[in-house]
Amino acid sequence: MSAPTMRSTSILTEHLGYPPISLVDDIINAVNEIMYKCTAAMEKYLLSKSQIGEEDYAEEIKSGVAKLESLLENSVDRNFDKLELYVLRNVLRIPEEFLDANVFRLENQKDLVIVDDDEVKRSEEELRDKVNDVELAFKRNEILSKKVAKVKKLLTSIKDFKQKLIELLKCKEEQQLQKILESLKPIDDTVTLLAGSLRKLYVDSESISSTEEVEALLQKLKSKGKEKKDYRTRYINIRTTNVLEKLGLLGDGEKENRSAGSGVREQGKEVAKLDIEEPQLDLLDDVL
């Protein structure tokens, strides 16, 4: 048999509560103790018989007993070394196939559950799901707390409104407040009428203010603005020429140009007569 491994020795040490070699040492120590008792008894007996005639053999007895004790110790050590090797290799040893198969279980490992990798992964997933559930519960609790705060605030507002409404209903008993309340009665009809009018205006504006309508209106305004600008320019030229003519500041060449452009002035006068009335001249002068 092969020598015991460290793994086998550690398991046996944990199971027995002491190292396996200690068992062999205890056996050897017990044998040595018996041997020492035997040599001590032998020495005591021989010393009692050390006197043979006039000769005393006490020293020889002690020396012989010491040598015998050494021989016995050597014999015990040599023979019990064989016992130690046999016990450690054949008795106090766990086979490797049992260690590899994990079939050797200690007393404190009876209730130990050995799980495989699939169970470990499944446990991790379950733990992760539980953590997610806890996080969702915290978020839900936070949302509910906010909603509870809003509901409490709304409840406070409702209570205030109820109190004011109760105070308002108590006004029926006072004549002065009753008159004020009657004077405010048409306000609900007015609000309803205003709401209907606003709704109608909104619908009309939605139907009128389309993209095509807006583009057409812009083009129309641009054309009118240009036409008004031409009329204003002609009017300014006519008014300026008349003022210069009255003051005698026009030259002969300018008078000829004025005669040549009489048609234009006549047209300008007609435009002024048609489009610009006399009360509006000062206003136009201010604008220009």
Residue found under tokens 């136009």: 284
Helix (H) or strand (E) holding 56: strand 55-56
Strands 51-52 and 55-56: antiparallel
pLDDT band of 212, cuts 50, 70, 90: low
pTM of the model: 0.37
Q: Are residues 73 and 128 in the same domain?
A: no
Does residue 178 sit within a domain?
no
Query: Which pLDDT value is given to residue 97?
Result: 80
240 or 184: which carries more pLDDT confidence?
240
Residue found under tokens 């610009």: 276
Q: Are residues 96 and 155 in the same domain?
A: no
Mean pLDDT of 129-141: 93
Mean pLDDT of 255-278: 47
Arithmetic mean of pLDDT over the chain: 75
Q: Are residues 103 and 129 in the same domain?
A: no
* Predicted confidence (pLDDT) at residue 281 exceeds the cutoff of 70: no
Mean pLDDT of 146-150: 91
Total tally of structural domains belonging to the chain: 3
Does residue 284 sit within a domain?
no
* Predicted confidence (pLDDT) at residue 277 exceeds the cutoff of 50: no
Does residue 259 sit within a domain?
no
Mean pLDDT of 40-48: 89
140 or 228: which carries more pLDDT confidence?
140
- Cα dihedral value 117, 122, 123, 129, nearest 10: 150
Beta carbons of 106 and 15 less than 8 angstroms apart: yes
Q: Are residues 22 and 75 in the same domain?
A: yes
- 66-99 burial code (b ≥16 CB/10 A, e <16): eeebeebeeebeeebeeebeebbeeebbbeeeee
Query: Which pLDDT value is given to residue 209?
Result: 59
pLDDT band of 106, cuts 50, 70, 90: confident
Q: Are residues 78 and 150 in the same domain?
A: no
Q: Are residues 103 and 121 in the same domain?
A: no
Does residue 88 sit within a domain?
yes
Q: Are residues 10 and 75 in the same domain?
A: yes
Phi, psi of 212 (to 5 degrees): -65, -40
Q: Last residue of some domain: 109, 130, 152?
A: 109
Query: Which pLDDT value is given to residue 249?
Result: 60
Q: Are residues 75 and 26 in the same domain?
A: yes
* Predicted confidence (pLDDT) at residue 138 exceeds the cutoff of 90: yes
* Predicted confidence (pLDDT) at residue 130 exceeds the cutoff of 90: yes
Query: Looking at 10-14, 99-103, 149-153, which range is the least confident one?
Result: 99-103
> What are the start-end ranges of the H helices in the chain?
6-16, 20-48, 58-86, 96-101, 117-169, 175-183, 187-208, 211-246, 252-260, 262-275, 281-287
Q: Which percentage of the chain shows pLDDT scores above 70?
A: 67
Query: Which pLDDT value is given to residue 283?
Result: 38
Q: Are residues 28 and 93 in the same domain?
A: yes
Does residue 263 sit within a domain?
no
Q: Last residue of some domain: 72, 92, 109?
A: 109
Q: Are residues 25 and 101 in the same domain?
A: yes
Query: Looking at 10-14, 16-20, 179-183, 269-273, which range is the least confident one?
Result: 269-273
Q: Are residues 16 and 94 in the same domain?
A: yes
Query: Which pLDDT value is given to residue 187?
Result: 65
Does residue 287 sit within a domain?
no
Does residue 155 sit within a domain?
yes
Query: Which pLDDT value is given to residue 270?
Result: 46
Domain, as residue range, for 130: 113-170
Q: Are residues 221 and 136 in the same domain?
A: no
Does residue 71 sit within a domain?
yes
Query: Which pLDDT value is given to residue 139?
Result: 92
Range with the largest mean pLDDT of 95-99, 104-108, 202-206, 220-224:
95-99
* Predicted confidence (pLDDT) at residue 161 exceeds the cutoff of 70: yes
